[in-house]
Amino acid sequence: MSHAEYCGQFIKPGGKVLDVGSGMGNFLRKMADLGFDAHGVELNPERIFEKVVKASAESLPFPDNYFDFVNCAEVTEHIEFPRRACGEIFRVLKPGNKCYISFHNRFGVYDYHYRLYFINWMPRSWTEPILNFLGRTKNDGSAGRQKLATMHYYTYGRVFKFLRAAGFSVSDIREKKIKKKFWNFALPLLILYRILLRPLYFNTFHLLLAKP
């Protein structure tokens, strides 16, 4: 199942979908192919096209309670104020509907932005000298925060707390998949996941949010 197909199961036929940080527009096009009314926001002027407007995630140019689903994939680490963006997503999402969102793990074992293992286990004050030595430094710019020391990485507990404060109920998508796939044998896997794999292995938290 593709990401678009996964998200599509939570949206009524023909529903309005917002893609926050739409990039090249691949998700928008796939959602449109599935019959949804897909819109996007993007800051890069070179990636503005039909159904995409130039706007930040922290100031969405849409009315309250407007969308049936919001997608915010691989975006929160790059923007200036992720908590403010979550508040905006809550505002434009219709009550009773859902949002897919991802956050990067502060202690994930592999960082795919820099393609390095264990860099996230180190103090941030160490990482820039190491990246300089390896010739892998990046600069912040029009594409948002790109430096490891300035991007937003979180623990799961911190993300859960501020999403609940924004008004959402929060489900861990990996937990849901473990329960669905392993059923009666899910409990020991869930314990392993919560104690070890989620906090110290996976590089990204994939969450399904619901607005009451």
| Range list of β-strands (E), 91-160 | 93-105, 110-111, 116-117, 153-154
Q: Could you state, in order of their start, the residue ranges of all structural domains in the chain?
A: 3-210
Q: What share of the chain is helix, strand, coil (3-state, %, to 5)?
A: 40, 25, 35
Cβ(211)–Cβ(167) under 8 Å?
Answer: yes
Band (pLDDT 50/70/90 cuts) for residue 184 is: confident
pLDDT, tens only, 137-183:
999 987 789 999 999 999 999 999 999 999 999 999 999 999 999 98
CA angle 25, 72, 112 (to 5 degrees): 85
The kind and range of the H/E element at 20 are strand 16-20
pLDDT, tens only, 10-56:
999 999 999 999 988 999 999 999 999 999 999 887 778 889 999 99
Q: CA–CA separation, 12 vs 9, rounded Å?
A: 8
Topology of domain 3-210, per CATH?
Rossmann fold (3.40.50)
pLDDT, tens only, 86-139:
999 999 999 999 999 999 999 999 999 999 999 999 999 999 999 999 999 999
What is this structure's pTM?
A: 0.94
CB-count exposure of residue 83 (10 Å: 0-12, 13-18, 19+)? middle
